Amino acid sequence: MGRDVPAVVFTREDRRRYRIKVQQCLDAFAQMLRESRFESERPQVGLEIELNLVDDDAEPAMRNSDVLEAIADPAWSTELGRFNLEINVPPRRLTEGGPDSWESEVRAALNHADERARSVGARLIMIGILPTLQQQHAGERALSENPRYRLLNDQVFAARGEDLRIEVDGVDRLRTYADTITPEAACTSTQFHLQVSPEEFPGYWNAAQAISGIQVALAANAPFLFGKELWHETRIPLFEQATDTRPQEIKVQGVRPRVWFGERWINSVFDLFEENLRYFPALLPLCDEQDPLGTLEQGDVPELGELTLHNGTIYRWNRPVYAIAHDKPHVRVENRVLPAGPTVADTLANGAFYYGLTRALVEEERPVWSRMSFAAAEENLHTAARHGIDARLYWPGMGEVPASELVLRRLLPLAHRGLELSGMDDAWREPLLGIIGQRCVTARNGAVWQKEMFHQAAASAGGRHEALRRMTQLYIDYMHLNAPAHTWPVD
């Protein structure tokens, strides 16, 4: 939900008009699919990274407006919380520029932004959940200044009619209530985008759904929330609960949640946008003046503003995206399951694994989604979030196996094959996928390091929060070295 919106009060007429406009957008989208109007000649990949802001003591810094002004780069934007920022790395061809070009570009952008953040008393950290974040940091005053966040907050609570209940059982137990959606801001993620043709979209979306649990197991990096040690990837249950518009009685009736894995494999990208309209009432019924069907009749490309805004308030772990670039429309898969960090090296290794594995699975003669139930894929996601790299996951032909064994024996060779099909030679593939392999061999990722470092620090820190603070300071130091997290020492 990246667009700016005004602060308004919605009427019943607004909602009626919006419902009509979304249906018109969906009809226009269907016509565009029938007439093959989409860009598919130059497929690109994209990357978004959400980050946290901290002060010199590794405590949350509510300074995103000041930092954004200091960075002065349109690639950067605010996020929900005042302690968040996001960078949208320019899209590119997967194999563009040689082995080190994407990493150099991302590191340069992050280092520049961190330098500018320091000039206003803040630092950037890539991590799934900031360990020093406490519940008092996630109240109403922590909402970013942009009116769209206040409007979204108000609409979520208008739909719920009561405070949010957040419950997570891990090593510790978290039981709390929230009267704003700001706890969602604790969830900072990495989002990989993959532009595909509409014909290829169902296969790539299904493949992304099938491997979501494996991705999370390998890359878990969010074991702490509000001082509690919870799941290896606590972002998953927190995000599901922190934007839930359903009171308990509505949940029991089987109404779908807005943070949603889905419920079936798909045959068309149209299926997902149609589900959005069928199952979810509008949170932000804002209409523009464009007539989507009339725009098509004139030979122009419609923005489908209402359709895309509605899509932006439904938080699928793999989200369909409609967009226009260079006056041509395209569709892409937005993969949203992964946490931020720990390093740029880890991030791009995660990307190589995702892009390579999905390509290989799409190319298989008998697709994995024809041999695996949708419910099994969803269960894998939550099992992986709870147990991280130690999770046991289901895979067709192997049954339930340790995640590391599944990756090393079956999926890593497929990822190599998929990248090779995409034109990436071995000299480029091996350093990236080698990081994934070594994570599996060592059974270490960001979450494992955080947990081990916390327990070591706790022995001498004189308090739980101080141990988390010390661990976070060390994390920032290692993050800047850009050595993959499985190599980080615990000392």
DSSP class per residue in 86-148: EEEEEEE-TTTT-TTHHHHHHHHHHHHHHHHHHTTT-EEE--SS-TT--GGGGSGGGB-SSHH
Give residues with Cβ within 8 angstroms of 413, minimum separation 6. none
Q: How far apart are CA 59 and CA 62, in angstroms?
A: 10
Tens of each residue's pLDDT in the chain, 491 residues:
455 555 477 899 999 999 999 999 999 999 999 999 998 777 799 999 999 999 999 999 999 999 999 999 999 999 999 999 999 999 999 988 887 899 999 999 999 999 999 999 999 999 999 999 999 999 889 999 888 888 889 989 888 899 999 999 999 999 999 999 999 999 999 999 999 999 999 999 999 999 999 999 999 999 999 999 999 999 999 999 999 999 889 999 999 999 999 999 999 999 999 999 999 999 999 999 999 999 999 999 999 999 999 999 999 999 999 999 989 999 999 999 999 999 999 999 999 999 999 999 999 999 999 999 999 999 999 999 999 999 999 999 999 999 999 999 999 999 999 999 999 999 999 999 999 999 999 999 999 999 999 999 998 878 999 999 999 999 999 999 999 999 999 97
CA 160 to chain CA centroid, nearest Å? 24
H or E stretch covering 391: none
pLDDT computed for residue 42 by the predictor: 72
Distances (CA, A) of 267 to 209, 352, 407: 14, 26, 27
Task: Tell me the angle at which helices 426-442 and 344-363 cross, rounded to the nearest 10 degrees.
Answer: 100
pLDDT computed for residue 44 by the predictor: 92
pLDDT computed for residue 462 by the predictor: 83
Query: Per residue in 324-355, pLDDT tens?
Result: 998 999 999 999 999 999 999 999 999 999 99
Distances (CA, A) of 309 to 272, 313, 460, 461: 14, 7, 50, 47
Give residues with Cβ within 8 angstroms of 103, minimum separation 6. 344, 345, 348
Burial of 481 (0-12, 13-18, 19+ CB in 10 A): exposed
Give residues with Cβ within 8 angstroms of 361, minimum separation 6. 203, 207, 210, 211, 367, 368, 414, 418
Give residues with Cβ within 8 angstroms of 411, minimum separation 6. 211, 214, 357
Q: How far apart are CA 227 and CA 230, in angstroms?
A: 9
Give residues with Cβ within 8 angstroms of 278, minimum separation 6. none
Region of 98 on the Ramachandran plot (φ > 0 left; ψ -120 to 50 alpha; else beta): left
pLDDT computed for residue 6 by the predictor: 57
pLDDT computed for residue 4 by the predictor: 55
Q: How far apart are CA 468 and CA 479, in angstroms?
A: 16
Q: What is the pTM of this model?
A: 0.96
The candidate with the shortest Cα–Cα distance to 395, out of 376, 414, 413, 378, is 376
Burial of 428 (0-12, 13-18, 19+ CB in 10 A): middle
CA 252 to chain CA centroid, nearest Å? 27
Give residues with Cβ within 8 angstroms of 219, minimum separation 6. 233, 338, 339, 346, 350, 445, 446
pLDDT computed for residue 346 by the predictor: 98
DSSP state of 60: B
Q: How far apart are CA 224 and CA 178, in angstroms?
A: 17
